[in-house]
Structure formats: structure tokens, C-alpha cells
Structure 1
Amino acid sequence: MDSSKFHQINLEDFKWINKPNEWSINNLNVLNVTTDEKTDYWEGTWYNFHHNTGHVYGLEINGDFTFSVCVEAEFTNLYDQAGLMIFLDDKHWLKAGIEYNDGQPMISSVLTNELSDWATGVFTGNPRKFYIRMTRKGDVVCVKYSTDNITWTLLRLCPMAFSLNKNPCVVGPMCCTPLRKGLNVKFSKFSITVPGDDILHSN
């Protein structure tokens, strides 16, 4: 997809990376997903796990974009997670959203450039319903989250190796349950727009 078509969001244009057994789209452009057993994205660090089995319902996008979505789920088990993902290949990707850790749902992001990092923080809003946004501008990605889709909080500003892969990146909702199956996630209010000049400080 190029920027001239950003206003025309049709979930039928998206494609699965690791299609789940249970999922549906309704006529309101709402995606419902139930995670398969032991699904995850992680590359190496600390655990020596190499997992690329999580569910991503992604759209190929050329160039710069701002992609946001509303995520609703009951996060109850260790490592339950849902949010957004930018996927280049198995060794280069970024995921962000809510992940259950240390006994509570945390706001979380993982950047993988051959190996994965991981950062979490306390989420002060309602983790059962939140908004997540990723903006690409050049080789930089800005990740923000919101509780009301109005006021956005910076989660991460990072480089990504877009130049290593000449194909369009894949962007879309992501969910995983590394230790179980059966997390029900609702994704709605999809938005893809052209990013503004100040991706770091603007809402």
C-alpha cells in the first residue's frame, strides 16, 4: 500500500503471518483473534529462545506511515501480549503493546535486530482497552500509546533496519501467548495516515 490509499482501510487486504485457528472480521472492520498454543516472537537474548510463531495480521506498506489501533483483551497469564508489530523478517522486527509480567499487565516493547531487547513499564490506565500507535519516518520508528485515543504517551523512539530489506514492511495487529492458548483479542478503530513533521512531540 502507498500513502495515497491510506484512507481506504479494508481488513480484507491484510494477510496473516502465522494464521490462528480462530479469527474473524465483522462488517465494522473489527478483527477478533483467539491465540493458538505457545505462540511468541523472541530472538535469543537471555532465554536462548528463537520463536517466530506469534500471530500478525499485517499490511504491506511502502514508505512512511502512522498506524494505530484499539486493543481489547483480558491479560491474565505470564507473557500474554497484544498490540502492534512492524515485521521486516524473522531477525528484524518491532512489537509493542500490553504484556503480562510481574503479576500485572505492563506496557511493553521489543526491538529485534538479530537479537531481541525488552523494555516494560507500569501501565496506569485500563489495560483491558488501550490504543497503540507506530509511526515510521525514514529509518526511525516512534511508538506511542493512549488510554483515550486523544492524549498519547511516548513509549519508544528507535532505529529500524528498513534498508536491509528492499521489500515493503508488514505492519499490523499482533498477539501471542507463549505459555498457553486462548487469549481473546479484539482489534478495532484501525487508522493509517501520513505522519506529521514532529513525530516525537505531537499528538
Structure 2
Amino acid sequence: MLQNGRWTTAPVRSELDGDVLRVEAHEGSDTWRVTSYGFVHDTEHALLEPFGTEEAVEVSFVLDFTAQFDQAGVFLRVSATEWIKAGVELSDGVPQVGAVVTHGHSDWSVAPVPEWLGRVVTVRASRSGDAVTVRAKAAGEPFRLVRVAHLDAGAEVSAGLFCCAPTRAGFEVAYTGYSRGPADASLHP
């Protein structure tokens, strides 16, 4: 799982336990730029490797989040001011599938998925041309479309898994899968 990856910010700990990568996030870790809150956070724990055009990345993890803003999923990074994170975040007591797209300023889109709690969730980001298509699912369900976002076709991008724990210590994510492959053939089935 990401043998050639590098952390954007090292976590408290990361260890391979059989086929499961366990990552403990630092309290206060987060990633956001300006919009609505006025602050900049750039302390996410993202384990990234180079990511080409016409490529997709999938990350799977156990959704057992318990504190406000616990989050995990896929991270695509061009720079500190241009990146995309997509996954599940606990917000106001409910797991929310969504994405933050940042081109200088961040935006955030979410949809509640309380039925995913306690299950393995897979988040997929597929890069093709000038777009990244984000899909997600819980085990046993088909992928659902989460977001289509712009990303410059010529940008040098790194991608991989991420987690953050903005409000607490001791948040650990159990990543159960990681894979790379060709981009999705089309936006619609």
C-alpha cells in the first residue's frame, strides 16, 4: 500500500497490520483555505505519490468516526493552494460523503450517509482531461457520483490517502484497500 508514497504531514503513527494500514492523526490536523472561516490549514496527513492523467485512485477504510470533523478519503495535490480532498467527514453528528475543491479558496459539498457508519467505504478519484470525477460507496453498494471538479490537464499531481482530526486526539483510520488503475471510461454508465 503506497510503498513509494510521502506524507504531506507525518501522522502520530502509521503501521501496517497485515493488509490494514492504521494511521493515527494529530489533534488539530486539517486542510482548508480561507472560504467562510477565514483561516488556512495545511496539516493534513496525506500519503501521496505521483498521479498521471487518465488515471484513477481508490482508497477504502472503515467508517467508525466519532468526533466532529473526523475525516478520511482520497487526496489529490498540485500545491498548497490547489488540491482536492474527497471522502467521508463526520459533521454535526452525521457521516457526510463529500469533497473539498481548492483553487486558491476552498469549497465544500456534502451529502449525509448515516447508513455507512460501521462499514467499509471506498472513495474513487478518476482524472481524465481537465476533470476529476469522484465516486464513493459503502461495501455491497454500487458507486455513486459525488463530484466532478476541474483540475488543469497539464498539472503535476500527487494522489493517495488522507485523514485529519481537527477536534481531537486519538483518531485512527483503518485503511483496508488502496489501488491505482486507468481512468473511468466515461462520466455516465
Pairwise same-fold verdict (TM > 0.5): yes
- Tell me the alpha carbon deviations over residues 64-109 of structure 1, each in whole angstroms, 9 at most, x when there is no partner: 2111121114211111111111011110000011111122111121
Alignment match, 2:100: 110
Match of 2:24 among 12, 31, 34: 34
1:185 shift after superposition:
0.3
- Spell out structure 1 runs of 4+ moving beyond 3 A: none
Matched, 1:171 2:159: yes
What is the alpha-carbon root mean square deviation over aligned residues? 1.6
Q: Does 2:135 correspond to 1:139?
A: no
Amino acid at match of 1:38: G
Instruction: State the SS of the aligned residue for 1:20.
Output: coil
Which amino acid in the other structure matches residue 179 of structure 1?
T
Say if 2:146 is the partner of 1:130.
no
For residues 81 and 186 of structure 1, do their structure 2 counterparts lie closer, same or farther at Cα, with a shift above 3 Å needed?
same
Pair 1:18 & 2:9 matched: yes
CA contact (8 A) 2:95 2:114 kept: no
Q: Residue 117 of structure 1: SS of its match in structure 2?
A: strand
Matched, 1:185 2:170: no
Say whether 1:120 aligns with 2:107: no
3-state secondary structure, aligned to 1:38: coil
The CA deviation string for residues 138-196 of structure 1, in whole angstroms up to 9 with x for no partner, is: 11000000112661100001111353x4x3x1111110011122111011221211124
Which is worse superposed, 108-117 or 179-188?
A: 179-188
Supply the AA of the counterpart residue of 2:67.
Answer: N
The 2-side partners of 1:98 and 1:50 are apart by 20
Q: Structure 1: which 5+ residue stretches go unaligned? A: 1-9
Q: Return the TM-score normalized by structure 2.
A: 0.92
**Structure 1 residues 149, 112: closer, same or farther in 2, change over 3 A?**
farther
In the alignment, the residues of structure 2 paired with residue 14 and residue 75 of structure 1 have an alpha-carbon distance, to the nearest angstrom, of 25
Residue ranges of structure 2 left out of the alignment (5+ in a row): none
CA 32–152 in structure 1, closer or farther in 2 if over 3 Å, else same = same
- C-alpha distance in structure 2 between counterparts of 1:162 and 1:150, whole Å: 31
For the structure 1 residues 145 and 79, does the alpha-carbon distance in structure 2 shift closer, same or farther, using more than 3 Å as the test? same
Percent identical among aligned pairs is: 28
Change (3 A) 1:183 1:160: same
8 Å Cα contact 1:11/1:25 also seen in 2: no
**Structure showing the higher strand proportion among its residues:** 2
